[in-house]
Structure 1
Amino acid sequence: MKKLNDTILKAFRGEETDYTPVWYMRQAGRSQKEYRELKKKYSLFEITHQPELCAYVTRLPVEMYNVDAAVLYKDIMSPLPAIGVDVEIKSGIGPVIDNPITSLKDVEKLGSIDPESDVPYVLETIRILTQEQLSVPLIGFSGAPFTLASYMIEGGPSKNYHKTKALMYSDSKAWFALMEKLADMTITYVEAQVKAGAQAIQIFDSWVGALNVADYRYYIKPVMERIFFELRKNNVPLIIFGVGASHLIREWNDLPVDVIGLDWRMSISEARQLDVTKALQGNLDPAFLLSDWSIVEEKTKQIIDEGKQHPSHIFNLGHGVTPEISPDRLKKLTEFVHSYSGR
């Protein structure tokens, strides 16, 4: 096993670090030419089902960009087939589900996950990476119940989540049953990742920003409290992240998490002014990486300077790496974050 650079784990725990650590959501794949070549031969699910290949894709950005953490290459949809969800990831569309949830009867048909038998390839990939290949921590992850439910009810990506909200408002029995079913799956799935070797966990509640604060408190927060309460027992840093969810940040600050990921809509200073005490992660708008380097540098300095007002900041993008972003630009950004924050 290689000597571990644990800087990012210290930052996750709110400890002082010599520099601001950095990783990027969707850093594995997307813009790398090596990954694009692989995608000509294999689908995402086909890559994740081959542990050695999946470990290579996960490891590649660490070697290419010199980031302070690896993030496991997989999708938030990865555990759903195990509980009976027929999901396919279609190019240019995203996850498509042929058997959407419409009632309590559909929820009751869902099964449970046994990670060792249902997703052994995910766990084997983690073991390969953490026991043999990585010199930085590995971040595992799962989707959160609302975000997973939105795909399961809409049948795929949505811009307004009308079907999801309609079920939530009109059939609360079905809704809460679905939340508990997905919470059970998330807890079991994440605990298996940690047992296999993942050293931190991010829960993606990517689309929960579609809800207002009152609805979040009633329909979502209790299940998130349960998930994080159970996951705390595993003694690894826990991160929550969503897009367009700045209005929920105080609710997230109440959860038993270590880190809150910010998208680009709220600055680190603004979050601190709202008395957010957790470590913060983020939050350069990925679009800036397509602009002149002088602009990237200016915006990055601002984020780092705000982050250094509090000991716990992890640099990241406000959402994931997009296919248009040059790998050379990401490598240069990592170098800049390290050098500027380490002064």
Structure 2
Amino acid sequence: MIRDTTGTPDIGTREAQIVYVAEAEDGIRLDRWFRRRWPHLSNIQVQKMARGGQIRVDGARIKPEGRLTAGAAVRVPPIPEPIVRAPGEHMALTPADIAFARSMVIYEDDLVIALNKPHGLAVQGGTKTTRHVDRLLSAWGEGMDRPRLVHRLDRDTSGVLLLGKGPEAAKRLAGAFARRQAKKTYWAIVMGLPKPAAGQIDMHLKKSGINDYEIMRPADPKENGAEPAETAFAVISHAAQRAAWVALRPFTGRTHQLRAHMKAIGHPILGDPKYGDEKSNSLTGPLKLQLHARRIELDHPGGGTLTVEAPISAEMRAGFEHFGFDESECVGDPFEGVKRQR
């Protein structure tokens, strides 16, 4: 037996349910739609149900990353009840969590929130990560009130992280990133002095290793699994030949792209535990990863242009002080007029 429902679907029932996609949910990914309605489900559970054919949309199979349209009928298989946690294991946000989440805000309006993500905070959780940005978004509410992630930053990269308020705003923001319309500018301190002082790195990358040991390495374009990656760079200042403060603009969004590209041209980012080498590590000393998402410019989902800059982190400021760099040395956009080569 299958029941029709337009309200909040039941959990812990043995019956499949038909749930209709709301107008405000038009365009949302299937896996995100499930996680929004049943937050206790894991991505693996949703993927398993979709790939096993237990989830159907208008009678047809759908992949976890498939998009839903308003009014579509989703067959929802029996949803298991949430695991009841023992005292002390409850994951609800504390007042301190909420205060911390809101302290990261550097811009907010009716459609967008911009955070200045600190070094060391993961964007999404994992088996050993329980404190992350995605969990902290409950500080703004649940369900339709909960902001949506539209892109990511590495755990140890600080800087601008955008969120969409509501599914439509999130859809438009995510679309801008997917179409590579967002202009992202990162600041980094690298080993040595790149020559020439400005240029573009066009180098395919491929994942290598497993789990926590996974890194990106340069690859031949014909190699299986190799992905095109392009980064523009410009030296802003330098400390003799020892180190340089560079601006970086990724035109593609590969995992660890900036870190892998700078390593590949012989100028690894300082403080990088994965892509550093013996020479850069000796120069780094106590400094943490010197990579900061400084600025994002893209179309605002409500019209016009959204431009957000994030003040540098304490970790990045330590690098500036160590090498004698000053933010006033960066005047204007280092990438004005620079376009993708492809």
TM-score normalised by structure 1 residue count? 0.24
Structure with greater helix percent: 1
Bigger share in strand? 2
By relative contact order (CA 8 Å, sep 6+), the higher-ranking structure is: 1
TM-score normalised to the size of structure 2? 0.24
